[in-house]
Structure 1
């Protein structure tokens, strides 16, 4: 039962990713061929490998993380605050900083990680990029040998499935049907590559990522039957 969880033990997170290189022709010939092979069935005959490369951020083997935003609830008496922060910069650096957060503040069995569609995307993506950079996985991301009930991950999309394996629901749609005010963001996920490489505006991407973290937390609160966080309870740190 979700209401039995101490929500202050949950770290909510979201990541934003882009292709590892700005353009397909910046890849080595070997990596270009591997990309062509990897995306053969996804592309079908609609796109050339070069045209399809703008979507490379979806795959951890061909993309990179440009920011990881996290948020967690704190209590002072009856008052709730949701603190949000973001790790960004060089991927190796931000991954190490995120790992340090997990190992310093979210390293107990009671601590859980939560995201939207995170079991399918965010958690494995972070783990794969850490391995690529030679970073030893923190306990919360190292799933080898763990039984299903020992995996410290929550996923708001999975919680919304209620056992339906075929059901996909976007975070924006869940927020809408659950009566959560939609943040007035000025971009969507498909724009991250353009904003990063063509506009060089990492602050805009961070704002977008943090809004998704806040929305994920609000969705989780609604799934528990809790009251939503008021705007003034959300603190950027």
Structure 2
């Protein structure tokens, strides 16, 4: 099945999100009450609502925001040209989420809106794609065609999820991107932060550039994993063009 997918038509992506406020106590009364209600079952495990907000505030689209979307695509050599395929990366990162989303929407509308284009992310169907769409609607933005899936049949939705590919129909467990890269022996650069550090780096260090670098590395790992799953060779580090 993957053999039929045109690599040059795929936009690979990853997002980084943070809670809308760094501390639960900074939420307005209504929002705090609604978060408390939404997470009441997690609180039965002995965790406080403040702890749960620190852990989950950024991954719930109703209470979080996107601070970076990194995308990558593959440039394949033309027939007869002896050069390696290359990965090219671009990132949208901004303190103003609406501006970030508008710029990303422009990319999709201008270059990835025909029926042959595909979006790919790890756990994208459960997280990245719906999160982006929900935040766009919250800001009153019109959904680009690749994200406007209401009423479409499953085979009409041009989304690839490497987590779903790995499950082979199994719904019992989640497998992380780092774990899959490890077992497939995909070299990944060691980073000084993880996903759990993004909110701290954003709110305390105010270092969006550092978050952008981390996000782009995840996109590279995603692309290399997809190539492995497809049976293709990996892209060499020297053929990766960062933004």
Pairwise TM-score range, normalised by the shorter structure? over 0.9
2:72 is matched with which residue?
71
2:217 is matched with which residue?
211
2:169 is matched with which residue?
163
Distance of 1:31 and 1:45 partners within structure 2:
22
Choose which of 132, 139, 147 in structure 1 pairs with 2:138.
Answer: 132
> Which secondary structure state, in structure 2, belongs to the residue aligned with residue 76 of structure 1?
coil
The structural deviation recorded for 1:45 is: 4.3
Distance of 2:108 and 2:102 partners within structure 1:
10
Distance of 1:45 and 1:120 partners within structure 2:
24
Unpaired runs of 5+ residues, structure 2, are none
The structural deviation recorded for 1:167 is: 2.9
> Which secondary structure state, in structure 2, belongs to the residue aligned with residue 119 of structure 1?
coil
> Which secondary structure state, in structure 2, belongs to the residue aligned with residue 123 of structure 1?
helix
1:33/1:201 CA distance change after superposition, 3 Å: same
Unpaired runs of 5+ residues, structure 1, are none
The structural deviation recorded for 1:148 is: 0.4
The structural deviation recorded for 1:192 is: 0.7
The structural deviation recorded for 1:99 is: 0.4
2:38 is matched with which residue?
38
Distance of 2:126 and 2:40 partners within structure 1:
21
TM-score between the two structures when normalised by the length of structure 2: 0.95
Structure 2 matches for 1:145-224, cutoff 5 A? Answer: 145-224=151-230
> Could you say what the CA RMSD is over the residues aligned between the two structures, in angstroms?
1.0
Distance of 1:32 and 1:25 partners within structure 2:
8
Distance of 1:34 and 1:106 partners within structure 2:
36
The structural deviation recorded for 1:76 is: 3.3
The structural deviation recorded for 1:79 is: 2.8
Choose which of 85, 88, 91 in structure 2 pairs with 1:83.
Answer: 88
The list of structure 1 runs, each at least 4 consecutive aligned residues, that deviate by more than 3 angstroms after superposition, is: none
Choose which of 229, 234, 237 in structure 2 pairs with 1:228.
Answer: 234
| Alignment size in residue pairs | 237
Deviates further, 198-207 or 92-101: 198-207
Distance of 1:86 and 1:46 partners within structure 2:
39
